[in-house]
Amino acid sequence: MTRPNEELLKKWGFATLAVHGAGGTDPMTGAVSKPIYQSSTFAFKSAESGAAIFAGEEEGYVYTRISNPTTEGLEQEIAFLEGGEAAVAFSSGMAATSGVILALAESGDNIVMCEPVYGGTHKLAQDILPRLGIEARAVDALDLGQLEDAIDQDTVLVWIETPANPTLKVVDISAIAEVTGKAGVPLAVDNTFASPYYQQPLALGAQIVVHSATKYISGHGDTVAGLVVTDQETADRIRNETLRELGGVISTFNAWLLLRGLKTLPVRMDRHAFNAMRVAQYLSFHPGVERVMYPGLRTHPQHEIAARQMKGFGGMVTFFIKGDRSDGTRVLDQMKLCTLAVSLGDCDTLIEHPASMTHSSYEADELTQFGISENLIRISVGLEDVNDIIDDLRQALEIL
C-alpha cells in the first residue's frame, strides 16, 4: 500500500492515521513495519554521486548522524500527526529542547519562558544559557500583559509548556500565539504531557512543537528520545546547526521503537486519561488531600482553557497532601503497586516528589514562587486496573 491520497487522509480519524501512518508500507519490500537500518555508514554508487550527496544536489544517505531511513520514517510520522511540514529526531527530550534554542538564539538574544517547566529545561535556561550570553526571562504565561512586557527586539523565542510540569497549569496557546505573532517571535510549545493525540499546538498558532518522546510517544519506559516538529526551513536550520554538529542523534533502534509507539498512542492515551480522571476524582474527596490538579476536573483553575484546546486531559495528576515533606516521603515509601520513579507516560503508574526529584534544580524560593510546594506529589497514571491504582493510593494515604 502506498501513501493514501489527501482526500482519504482528511476523512480518517487520528487513530487510523496513527496506525497506517503517512508513508504506507515500505515501497521496496512491502514491509508493514518500517525496517531498522542499523548501519552507521552508507556506500555511494560512485565518487561523483557521493560528492553530489554531500553538496545537497542529490538525495541519499551518508552517515547516520546526518540521516538514516528509519529515523526519517519517524520524523515523517510525527510531523504528519502534529500537522507540521517537517520534524527532527534527537537522542533525548533535553537534546531536542537545547537543539531548538541553540539553533535560534545567540549571544545577546533572549528567550521568554513560562514557568514552571520541566526541571532540566529550567536548569538549561537559568544556568547554561547565560554562559553563552543568552538571557532567559521567566514569566507567568497566564498573564498576557506580563508576556508582552517581557518581549523586546532581542527576543528570538517564546517557550511554553502546557500542561505544565509538575503543576499541570494550562495556558492558552492561541492567545499566546496572538501575542507572539504580533511581535514576530516564534512560539515553541512543549507538548509532552498532552501528546499529538490530545493537543496540536501548530493548529493553534504555534510554530514549533517539542516532545520528550521518552514519555507517551514511547509509552513503555524503554526509550529515551526527543522530537521537534516545525516548518521545513526551521527544521533544516535545527538539523544543520545543532543536531549534526552537536551530535545528539537518536539511535535507529530507538527510532523504530517510537514508530511502534505511535501506532498505539491513541488507545494508550485513552486508557491513561480514563484512569487519571478516576484517580483525580478519588483524591479530590480524600480527607488527607488538600488539593488536586487535573485539567479534566472542573475545579482546575484553567479547566475551560483545557477543554477548549485539548481533545482529552491526559494521564498526569498532581495532588497536595495535608502535611509536609516528611509526610509525603512516608506516603511514597508506603506505595505497593505504584512505582516510586521519575519520568512519565509508561504503562506502569509512576509516582514521585517533584521538589526533591524532577524539579530539584529550582531554588527554594523558585519552588514556592512557581507552586511546586513540598507537599506536592506527581503521579503518572498508568494502564493498570484503575481500582488497583486507587486501592494502592488509599492504603498509602492512611498514614496521614
The CA-to-CA distance between both ends of the chain, in Å, stands at 58
Are residues 221 and 292 in contact, defined by beta-carbon separation less than 8 angstroms? Answer: no
CA atoms of 215 and 7, how far apart (whole Å): 32
CA atoms of 317 and 1, how far apart (whole Å): 41
Q: Which of 356, 346, 277 is nearest to 314 (CA)?
A: 277
Q: Is 123 a known active-site residue? A: no
- How many CB atoms neighbour CB 397 within 10 A? 22
Q: Which of 297, 124, 274 is nearest to 210 (CA)?
A: 124
Contacts of 162 (CB under 8 A, 6+ apart): 114, 141, 169, 170, 171, 173, 189, 190, 193, 194, 199
For the chain, the maximum distance between any two Cα atoms, rounded to a whole number of angstroms, is 74
Of the residues 172, 190, 346, 392, which is catalytic? 190
Q: Where are the beta strands (DSSP E) in the chain?
A: 86-90, 110-114, 135-139, 155-161, 187-190, 208-212, 226-230, 289-293, 316-321, 339-340, 350-352, 376-380
Q: Classify 247 in phi/psi space as left (phi over 0), alpha (psi -120 to 50) or beta.
A: left
Of the residues 65, 182, 308, 394, which is catalytic? 65
Q: Is 65 a known active-site residue? A: yes
Torsion angles phi and psi, residue 318, rounded to 5 = -115, 135
Are residues 93 and 345 in contact, defined by beta-carbon separation less than 8 angstroms? Answer: no
Of the residues 137, 169, 215, 268, which is catalytic? 215
Q: Can you spell out the DSSP letters for 238-299?
A: HIIIIIHHH--PPPHHHHHHHHHHHHHHHHHHHHHHHHHHHHHHHHHT-TTEEEEE-TTSTT
* Sheet containing 316-321: order of strands: 289-293, 316-321, 376-380, 350-352, 339-340
Quick one: cell of 9? 487522509
Task: Report, as residue numbers or ranges, the catalytic residues.
Answer: 65, 118, 190, 215
